[in-house]
Amino acid sequence: MLNEGVGSWTARRARKTPDARAILHEGRTLTYAGLHDRAGRLARALRGLGAGPGTRVAYLGPNHPAFLETMFAAWSAGAVFVPLNMRLAGPELAYQLGDCGAALLVYAPGQAAVVAAWILPEVVIGFAWFAYLDRDAGTLNGILGALGLPGADWLLDMPFLAIVVFNTWRGTAFSMMLFSSALQSIPPSYFETADVVGASSWQKLRDIALPLIRGHVVTDLILVTMWTFNVFTPFLLTAGGPSFRTEILSIYTYQLAFKHFEFGRGAVPTFVNFPPSFVSSQ
């Protein structure tokens, strides 16, 4: 077999040692023949989606065999493989995708909702939630109606609850990506040893997982706190209404400075916002 570069490495290795272990992940073994087969099928799928020489193929997901499969599949198709860090914030990931010119994004199984919540622009997310909560044609009321339950005008009757749920959903996406990446970094042998001595799930969480990801938990709390003080997307849902019931700090600042043109008063809330943001960042 001709050496056609790194993209053909799995084929060459599968030809020499097809049954040798290539990957061991969570107790499951993947041989070189299996890796070549999976990477080859993914490469054909990528080509069918337009991947070719020079095309950027991005990957977003935790430590998983899919990372290697996507990497070799992209190289086999002649594309450029772009790994993304799950710990980056949404705007940073969006910038990387735009800056590298990624034409395709491969994400880990179960990450679709997370990717949608964290990668899509806030304007798109805001209008999607507006359509979801709409009184007349909203998805939520449609589901409730199909179940024989009464709907509601969520943005009028319970506006503050609506934006709390929205912001929680938005922040949970980042937390899921961060904690998933953190848990993947813990050696499986730690949990295997705990299983041998008969530790319960709660004991493994308390004595192994939480101490090892404590830094990630603190980082998550700091970032979520800072973003909550600065979030502005609820303005697209309620514009601070009705009757100022959802006029959070960022919306209040905007209303003063850019609607009433009281720039001096509009600058005052920033002094309220600055101390907690400064303290949480230390």
**What pLDDT shows up at residue 282?**
55
Residue 89's pLDDT is: 65
For residue 96, pLDDT over 70 is answered with yes
Domains observed in the chain: 6-109 (3.40.50.980), 117-281 (1.10.3720.10)
Percent of the chain with pLDDT over 90: 22
Asked whether the beta carbons of 234 and 155 are under 8 A apart, the reply is no
Which residues are within 8 A (CB) of 273 and not within 5 positions of it... i.e. 6 or more apart?
229, 230, 249
Q: What is the mean pLDDT of residues 96-116?
A: 76
Show the tokens assigned to 10: 């799995």
Once rounded to an integer, what is the mean pLDDT over residues 39-55?
Answer: 91
Residue 1 pLDDT: 46
Closest Cα to residue 60, out of 120, 10, 128?
120
d(CA 13, CA 240): 61
Q: What mean pLDDT do residues 27-55 have?
A: 91
The average confidence (pLDDT) of the chain is 83
Q: Residues 240-259: what's their mean pLDDT?
A: 82
Residue scoring higher pLDDT (117 or 65)? 65
**CB–CB of 135/159 below 8 Å?**
no
pLDDT of residue 116: 64
Rounded CA-CA distance 236/240 in Å is 9
Using pLDDT thresholds of 50, 70 and 90, give the confidence band for residue 163. Answer: confident
CA 60 – CA 100 distance, rounded (Å): 14
| pTM of the entire predicted model | 0.56
Beta strands 56-60; 28-31: pairing state: unpaired
Read off the pLDDT of each residue in 173-185 and give the average, rounded to a whole number. Answer: 78
d(CA 107, CA 70): 10
Q: In angstroms, rounded to a whole number, what is the distance separating the alpha carbons of residues 252 and 273? A: 12
> Whole-angstrom Cα distance, residue 157 to residue 209?
41
Say if CB 106 and CB 70 are below 8 A apart: yes
Type of residue at 204:
K
Q: Which residue has the higher pLDDT, 148 or 62?
A: 148
What is the rounded average pLDDT of the residues 15-20? Answer: 92
Q: Strand locations in 51-148, DSSP E?
A: 56-60, 80-84, 102-107
Q: What is the pLDDT of residue 219?
A: 82
pLDDT digits (tens, 9 = 90+) for 78-93: 999 999 887 776 667 7
pLDDT, residue 258, reads: 83
Residue with tokens 């705990």: 194
Of 24-28, 82-86, 197-201, 239-243, give the range with the top mean pLDDT.
Answer: 197-201
What span, in angstroms and rounded, lies between the C-alpha atoms of 60 and 136?
36
- Calculate what percentage of the chain has a pLDDT beyond 70: 89
Task: Give residue for tokens 């600055």.
Answer: 274
Given a cut of 60, is residue 39 above it in pLDDT?
yes
What was the pLDDT predicted at 90?
65
pLDDT of residue 255: 82
Per the CB < 8 A criterion, the answer to whether 81 and 43 are in contact is: no
Q: How confident is the model at residue 56 (pLDDT cuts 50, 70, 90)?
A: very high
Q: How far apart are CA 142 and CA 138, in angstroms?
A: 6
Structure tokens at 17: 């040692």
Rg, Å, the chain Cα set: 24
The pLDDT of 101-122, averaged and rounded, is: 71
